[in-house]
Chains A and B, each alone.
Chain A
Amino acid sequence: MTDWLYKIKETNIEESIGEIISSSHLDFKFQVYNPKRSPEYSSIVIVLADNILINGMVIGIKMDPKSSLSQEIPSPLKRTREQIEKDYADIKDKLIMTCKAITIGYYENGKFYQKRPRQIPWIHDLVYQPSPQYIRDFHIVNNHYRLNYLPLVYNSLSREEKASFSFFMDTFIGYISQFFEKEEMAKIIKSIQESLILNGLEYLVENLNEIFINL
């Protein structure tokens, strides 16, 4: 099996998509270097946190003007993204994209864990986008398909976010299904069901089923 810590450490630093700007045991925020390489909502990102890889699920993406001190509201430019890029070459430096991710697991000593790590990411730790194989390895433990971190995500959300959790699940299932075959997805779904039930979230199972059916 791939030594993912080694592999990430060996990866060209240019491959990182951002770095941590704040973190806690529950979640972390990172600034994206290039909005064009921003992770998708509900996707998984990796933080290289010294000797472990911390996996987070992006639950929020935000873009702001950089000059926040002046409380300046960006002036309308009436151009397409391409035109802006052409006409304002430094625009990238004036915009900040930040993402919020919830910690959903980690990789340590050659093993994946779908639970909170004992350490938190440090500010400036680099954030990477995982490869499809990384995603698969994260979800296949001892040949068993496992995805039991959704309750962790759910319980970290605000009341308003919880209320619309089925929409979140819809996006997430769409995302995760890119990495698995149909039959594998059925197993993943079963694992999600199991974890929801075990965490008293059985009322989300029917929504999940419907999402899966419509996939």
Chain B
Amino acid sequence: MSEKNEIGQVIGASLSEGILVQLNKSSYVEEISSNSLVTINGDKRKYLGLIANISLIKGSQHASKLANIESRFLNERVKDITKSTKELFNNYGVFSSAIHVIPLSQTTKYSTEDVDTIPSYLSKVFPSTKEDIEIFYGKVDNKINWGIGYVKYPLKEIEHQNLIPINIDILVRGSFGIFGKAGAGKTMLGNIIASLIILGNKTKSFEKEVKLLIFDMHSEYGLKVKDQHGRDYEDGVGRIFKNEFLILSPDHILAEEYGLEKFEIKVGNISEEDIINVKEVFNLSDAFIDYLFDFKAIYNNIFKEKAKNYNIELKNPWIYYLFDIFISEEHKKISEKTEEQSKEKIREKISQGALYALNSGRSKLRYLSKVDFISKNPGTDSVDKIVNELFDGNKSVIVSMGRYGDDVRVYTFIANIISMRIWNEAIRRIMKGEELKYKIIIFLEEAHKFLSPTEYYKNPFGNIARELRKRGILLCVIDQRPSQIADDVMAMLWNNFVFSLTEPKDISCVTKGLKFSSLFEPVISNLKRREALVFGEMVKIPAVITIADYKEMVKTFKRIYENQKSLVDIPGY
């Protein structure tokens, strides 16, 4: 390691508070990037560290006096003398600056390990080289270990593109999280990860093929990823690997425009559990939920009687009534008659209040009768198709929400219905002693709407997270507000990609699983766009990476996919 690259020396360290490195030049503060990797050459071993903070540690009194003089005498001579004084103060350590380094790993005789020692005084500190990074993180092989992002080089003006390998096989062994504020790069990374999983399937990198179910709020997986200005940027994973995905959209205009499959839910297939799952977003009252099954029983019994003389057969006519959807004029007529009598009975048997609750609940749910994707015809629907595809088919699935992307009620409703049926199907198969043919990873944006502390224990996604991990159904939890996700769920995430977060609660929540968690808090708040802290089993040591250029990655993915050639020959991108 060349002496000229030395950036500083260790002047203090503790295992609990990290390593303090005095910079060789105070002015380095303007050249050194936080969140970059450094190598510390101790007397007996090397250490890998992450620059968590940069500070001017000495000389503020002098700086203040100089500033005072400069402000009192506004002339060139003063500027010159102040400048030369500043230079001297910098060079001779009157002004002194330091970096605060989080120790990440240390070398042993033959390998590397978690840190349990600290470097000695005056150990020299260097920017980590490609070789150092390979010693600590391993090599990218584009088979299992994929380089999806570069570590930052500590010296700003110097270009170094050192990739950090992410073990995709380990990644798909457990649920994982992608967190960060809006515009940080979550969706691009989500697309990259989804692409790697598809390629992993193609190259037989996993012990079991992995199917994806992507709830695509803003149609950036199924169609085009957007740039920070909201303009189309590049194909999403569904378009990169057209033959690998079944892409559906509840927005039928979008579906027609882009040739996607129209997502349809047959109203008759909606269950009471599906209604209960959307209680919060539809603001349904407790009374409505409490009496839901009573309402159903009363209505269906009366309907059955009334329908005797008509040629109409419905499994659960109550649900049609609830959504105010009728399959024919005849159905509507019977429903009107049934409604009168049902209301009377509800008033009698339950209470006037229950009737109010029913009316109120119906008026709220009626919103869904106006959407494209609720179909009044009986039979199988898109949810069945999705479930079949995931459990037995050949393709992964993307549900691109189109214009419903920002409609929390619709998004929640659809996601819950699909997940409920996945849960039911998985349980059915497990109870029969069947092993699931594929692993399924569900990409869930706005995950806190399903996995909050109040929701997750009663929500199908919560059940999946809790009960189905060992059976191979996993979650990719994507969210801006990780603190709003139940602790239990966060604890289940084996791997995390964390983009910039600003809320202290969110930051402390995502760093909980890290050694030196408090030292990582400034790291997260200092992340720039496209920069992510990655940690977990997939990467040996936590690292801050700049996610590789998406367009370039897409090119590589397409090439690999199309050529189906040995990935060993593919150069790093």
Contact = CB atoms under 8 A, between A and B. Distances in A.
Contacts of A202: 62, 89, 92, 94
B73 interface: yes
A214 B82 CA distance: 14
Given A190-B88, A197-B89, A206-B62, A213 B81 contact: yes
B69 interface: yes
Interface in B58-104: 62, 65-66, 69, 73, 77-78, 80-82, 84-85, 88-89, 92, 94
A84 interface: no
Given A202-B89, A206-B65, A197 B81 contact: no
A209 B88 contact: no
Contacts of A189: 81
Given A206-B62, A206-B65, A213 B88 contact: no
Contact of A193 (B73, B78, B80, B85): B85
A95 interface: no
Interface size class of B (residues with CB under 8 A): 10 to 19
- 9 shortest interchain CB distances as A-B pairs: A206-B65, A197-B92, A202-B94, A209-B81, A193-B88, A213-B73, A190-B84, A197-B94, A213-B78
Interface string A198-215: 100011011001101100
Interface in A171-215: 186, 189-190, 193-194, 197-198, 202-203, 205-206, 209-210, 212-213
B398 to A, nearest CB: 65
Interface string B400-424: 0000000000000000000000000
B85 A198 contact: no
A193 B54 CA distance: 27
Given A193-B84, A194-B88, A205-B85, A213 B69 contact: yes
Contacts of A198: 92
Contacts of B81: 186, 189, 209, 212-213
A79 B77 CA distance: 47
Main SS of chain A's interface residues? helix
Given A186-B80, A202-B62, A210 B94 contact: no
Given A190-B88, A194-B88, A205 B62 contact: yes
Contact of B66 (A190, A197, A206): A206
Interface size class of A (residues with CB under 8 A): 10 to 19
Interface of B: 62, 65-66, 69, 73, 77-78, 80-82, 84-85, 88-89, 92, 94
Nearest to B62: A202
A198 B92 CA distance: 7
B541 to A, nearest CB: 40
A210 B65 CA distance: 10
A186 B82 CA distance: 12
Contacts of B88: 190, 193-194, 197, 205
Contact of B92 (A186, A194, A206, A213): A194
Given A186-B84, A189-B81, A213-B78, 7 more contacts: A197-B88, A202-B89, A205-B94, A206-B62, A209-B82, A213-B73, A213-B81
Nearest to B65: A206
A193 B92 CA distance: 11
Nearest to B80: A186
22 contacts: A186-B84, A190-B84, A193-B85, A194-B88, A194-B92, A197-B89, A202-B89, A202-B92, A205-B85, A205-B88, A205-B94, A206-B62, A206-B66, A206-B85, A209-B69, A209-B81, A209-B82, A209-B85, A210-B69, A212-B81, A213-B73, A213-B81
Contacts of A209: 66, 69, 78, 81-82, 85
Contacts of A206: 62, 65-66, 69, 85
Contacts of A203: 62
Nearest to A205: B85
A197 B95 CA distance: 11
A88 to B, nearest CB: 50
